Structures are given as structure tokens and as C-alpha cells.
Chains A and B, each alone.
Chain A
């Protein structure tokens, strides 16, 4: 493997976008969660909702800030590392990224100030309006970014100009390209689940450490409800996204599934070790026919394998195959935790199910892992194309020396390690502290609480004294 400008530029973009996606994946869900909390506070006036809002809004502000900083770096890379890509497709997806800034980012960023500093100043209704505006802004932002990325997966509504660059012939087709609906829904649900897992983990941790009991119980119920309803729905939407990918990007799906041969009865592989050179998947354990049934609705359907594509048109299989399995594994983990939570809730044991609380704390990063793995499988699976079937990644890189890209990559790695580690640690510190509460703090006593032994020791000590 040669570390040329192409590979280094790809690594740099993967590194920076890998950091970046963590924050929007969290803030999209958190903004909606805050809007719900404030709405509940306005209608019920229960202090738990206010306390939860004031707790999570701090974490939202920090995550939003880190998301902005890490996002700006990527915009620069379009110019520095991917200038040919920018020149070729800028007329088509440039406006989509511009709309994201104009219609979504400005909305979020400008109303965030009111959300953070204006509750008393502007009053309850205008503040709630601002929180809802920020929440809607995050969703609009996701829409435009997904529109741009989905166009790169399933391009349409464009033509080549005389100079070879691409120009949009129909912006409606560019925006509402075939993979947008399922991918947008998949991403928004992933963001909601990511937030639900973090809120559930934080609430479970607070319950295990006996902090802010009322707030933690409420937040735990809200996140378990979200998990139990949305995680199974996400499986359905993810399936739909896979069906669309199979129709428009069959090589990607073949790599995700580890299918080398075009045949009927394609299996769903539960485990395997894809070998690109040998064009086989070693130690494959799978369910015959299930793959054909999932993507084509018929176990006997003939489904394309990687042999239908020239070796130079195939994506890297091992990464795509395993990233997909990690995403699906995390998805089913969330389904399981949602159902487990619903079951203990029905048994009225949600507040005391210590084992479940511990599982939630351990699974708190599951949403982030699923989002990262999902994006890796989607983006690596699109290779060797940057715009599927139209522009190769190798033809989109800037004519810059490898040394320059390596230097900036090392710089990013060092700066990100410092800035984002500090940010993440601060967020974890806030989470471990838990929300402020109106409850009385637990009484500090030296005797076992409520036990006859404790009472006896105390009375004896009083008598002696």
C-alpha cells in the first residue's frame, strides 16, 4: 500500500469526518429532546423537566460548538485536498451545501443564543419557539447534507458542460435523488437513537449512583420509550435503504454481504473473512437464500455478486463487510435493550433493575459506534467512485504532494486529540455529575439506614452520652 496524496487525502477526510459526525449525530436528537422537555415543562410545570432541560442544554451547547469547529475543517478540505472534485461537481452540490448554511446552520446558530441566555429575558413562549427552531434547524441541516451525499451515491439531474465539469439540469432531481428518502430517514432515526442511548446511559448511571432520582427516572423512561419504538423502526428503514442501494449500487451491497459470485440463493453471512485477492470469503457462516430474499424479496432470485464488476470497479470488501456487520450488530443491540427496557417497565421494575441499568451504561456509546460503522460501510462501499459511476475518487484529488497532506493530517490528529479529548472529558464530567435537582440531598449517617442494629447503636450511644 502506497501512502500517496490520494490515500492520505482519503485518510484525512475519513479522520475529520469521523470526528465530526459524532457531534451532529448527537445534537440532532438532543435538540428535539430539549424541545420535548421544554414543551413538557410548559404544559405540566413539573420541575424535573426544567432541571433536565438545564442539564442537557449545557451538553448540547458544547457538542454543537465542537460539531461546528470540526465541520469547518471539512469544508476547507474540499478546496485543499479535493479541488478537482470541487471543480467538477461544485455547480451541482455546492448550492446544496450553501442552502445548508443559509437555511439550517444560520437558524440553529442564531437562535442558540436565545436558547442559552434568554429564558428569563424573552419569556417562556419565545424561548420555546427558539428551542423548537434550533431543533428544526438541525433536521433541515441533516436534510441538505444527506441530499448532497445521496446525490454522490445515486447521481441524477445533471449533464456535462463543454469543459467536462458537471452542471445541474434539474435541481429537484439532484435534491430528491433516489437514495435521499431512505438515507435521510435512516440518519435522523440513527441520531434519535444515538441521543436516546446517551440519555439512557447517563440516567442509568445517575440511578446507580443515587443522584437526581426523579430526573433520572423521567429521562430513563423517555429514552427507553424512544429505544423501544425507534430501534425496531430503524431496522425497517435500514432494510429499505439497503434495497435502494441494491438497485442503484449493487457492487456496494455485494461487498457489504461478502457475495463474490452472481447466483440465486445468496446467503446472509453472519460471519466471514473476506479476501479480496482470493475473491472469496473464508470461514463463512450464513443462512442460504436469506440475502436474495432480503434484497429481492425472493430467496431464489439471482443477485449480482462482485464477479459482475471489473476488479478495478469493486470497493474494498473487508472494511465494507465488517463495518456493515458492526452497524447491524449495534442496531440489534439497541432493539434488544429497548425491548428489555419495555419489559422491565411493564413489570414495574424499571427503576430498580440494576443489571439493566449497568447494561445501559455500557451500551451508551452504541449509537455512535453504529453511526460511524454505517457511514464507513456507505462511503467505503461507494469506492472507487466519489460520484457513483461518474467520477472516480482517484480523479478527484488535488494535485498536491503527499508530504503536504501527511503534514496537515498529523497536525489534525494532534489538534483533534487535544481539543476533542478535552471536550469529550468535560461532557463526561458533566454527565457524571448529573442534573441539578429540587430533591433533598441524602442524609449522611454512620449507621446502616433503617436497620434495627443502626437504631440500637444510636440509642446506646445516646444513653452513654
Chain B
């Protein structure tokens, strides 16, 4: 079954990931968010310049 796009919280029995891994994911997703904003912003800017 395909996992849901919007992720839910860890289940009760799930092992807790190491802190370093959680922080890496946190940084990666944040950078991904910034990149998405930057791509959209520069694409829109390219349209008008």
C-alpha cells in the first residue's frame, strides 16, 4: 500500500531514530523548502525580467 503523502507521527512501537539522523532530516527538509521557494521565486522573476 502506498504510504500517505502527508506523514503522520511515529507509531507507538516504532524505534526512535538517532538524534543525528533526525537533525539531518530536519535540515534536509528545511533546505528543500527553501529551495522550492527559491526556484518558484527566481522562475517568476525570470518571467518579468
Instruction: Please give the residue numbers on chain A whose beta carbons come within 8 Å of chain B beta carbons, in ascending order.
Output: 41, 50, 54, 57-58, 61, 72, 76, 79, 105-106, 109-114, 116-124, 126-127, 130
Beyond A76-B48, A122-B22, whether A110 also contacts B30 by CB under 8 A is: yes
Centre residue among A41, A76, A110 by max chain B CB count within 10 A: A110
Q: Which of B28-49 contact A (CB under 8 A)?
A: 29-30, 32-34, 36-37, 44, 48
Residue of chain A at shortest CB distance from B4: A54
**Pairwise interchain contact A122-B29, C-beta atoms closer than 8 A:** yes
The 5 closest A-B pairs by CB, nearest first: A110-B33, A113-B33, A121-B25, A122-B26, A114-B29
Residue of chain A at shortest CB distance from B12: A45
Give the complex CA separation of A122 and B20 in angstroms: 10
Instruction: Please give the residue numbers on chain B whose beta carbons come within 8 Å of chain A beta carbons, in ascending order.
Output: 5-10, 14, 16-17, 22-23, 25-26, 29-30, 32-34, 36-37, 44, 48
**Pairwise interchain contact A121-B29, C-beta atoms closer than 8 A:** yes
Q: Summarize B's interface: helix, strand, loop or mixed.
A: helix
Residues of A within 8 A of B37 (CB): 105-106, 109-110
Q: Summarize A's interface: helix, strand, loop or mixed.
A: helix
**Pairwise interchain contact B34-A106, C-beta atoms closer than 8 A:** yes
Total CB contacts across the A-B interface at under 8 A: 76
**Pairwise interchain contact B8-A120, C-beta atoms closer than 8 A:** yes
**Pairwise interchain contact A116-B7, C-beta atoms closer than 8 A:** yes
Beyond A111-B30, A114-B26, whether A124 also contacts B6 by CB under 8 A is: no
Residue of chain B at shortest CB distance from A55: B6
**Pairwise interchain contact B8-A119, C-beta atoms closer than 8 A:** yes
Residues of A within 8 A of B29 (CB): 113-114, 117-118, 121-122
Residue of chain B at shortest CB distance from A128: B9
Q: In the complex, what's the smallest C-beta–C-beta distance from A251 to chain B, in angstroms?
A: 37
Q: In the complex, what's the smallest C-beta–C-beta distance from A229 to chain B, in angstroms?
A: 29
Give the complex CA separation of A111 and B8 in angstroms: 16
Residues of B within 8 A of A120 (CB): 7-10, 14
Out of A72, A79, A106, A127, name the residue touching B44 (CB < 8 Å).
Answer: A72
Residues of B within 8 A of A105 (CB): 37
Q: In the complex, what's the smallest C-beta–C-beta distance from A75 to chain B, in angstroms?
A: 9
Query: What are 21 contact pairs spanning A and B, CB under 8 A?
Result: A41-B9, A50-B9, A58-B6, A76-B48, A106-B37, A111-B30, A111-B33, A113-B29, A113-B30, A114-B29, A116-B5, A116-B6, A117-B29, A119-B7, A122-B22, A122-B25, A123-B16, A123-B17, A124-B10, A127-B9, A130-B26
Q: In the complex, what's the smallest C-beta–C-beta distance from B46 to chain A, in angstroms?
A: 13
Residues of A within 8 A of B48 (CB): 76, 79
